[in-house]
Amino acid sequence: MQLMKGMTIVTALAAALSTTALVQAADIDDAIEYRQSAFSVMAWHFGPMGAMAQGKIDYDPEEFARRAEAVNAVAGMPWEGFVEGSYMGDNHGVETDAMAKIADNQDDIQQRVETFTEETATLAEVAQEGDFESSRRAFAAVANSCKGCHDNYRDN
């Protein structure tokens, strides 16, 4: 009876721990999917802006400004999805290209995010003036910041 009781407690504890582990894993999966979703939203708007900046499609000042505003509205959002345990090689359920070294370079990341969000704010502001050349330059600055992080912290 003593043994039975002991086993029951151990079993209950194991079940509780297992439940906790599952909840945490789900949270991490959600965080990865959240940050990927935020990047996808930005990419959707960034695409046509890039095509305009490169002269592949006609520059439509209103459309460009609307999409610049959308990128800027989301620019501050993905970062809270980069949580401990959510990187490549961590034991979670979602595919990610986010390299593990992100966890060890928080100061650099934070500096990059600050620069990026300042640049998207500038882009949204400049785009409203409707001048192609300055819009193109502000766009290039943002694109360059995207690339900087991707080159350093994304595995592809």
Residues that bind a second copy (CB under 8 A): 30, 33-34, 36-38, 40-41, 44, 70, 73-74, 77, 81
Q: Toward a second copy, which CB reaches closer, 118 or 131?
A: 118
Measured distance CA(108)–CA(115) in Å, rounded: 11
Evaluate whether 88 touches 78 at the Cβ level (below 8 Å).
Answer: no
Q: Which is nearer to a second copy, 66 or 137 (CB)?
A: 66
Which residue, among 35, 61, 39, 33, has the nearest Cα to 48 in the 3D structure? 61
Given the complex with a second copy, which of 41 and 143 has the nearer CB atom?
Answer: 41
Q: Alpha-carbon distance 109 to 4, whole Å?
A: 52
Minimum Å gap between C-beta 105 and a second copy is 24
Closest approach of a second copy to the CB of residue 48, in Å: 11
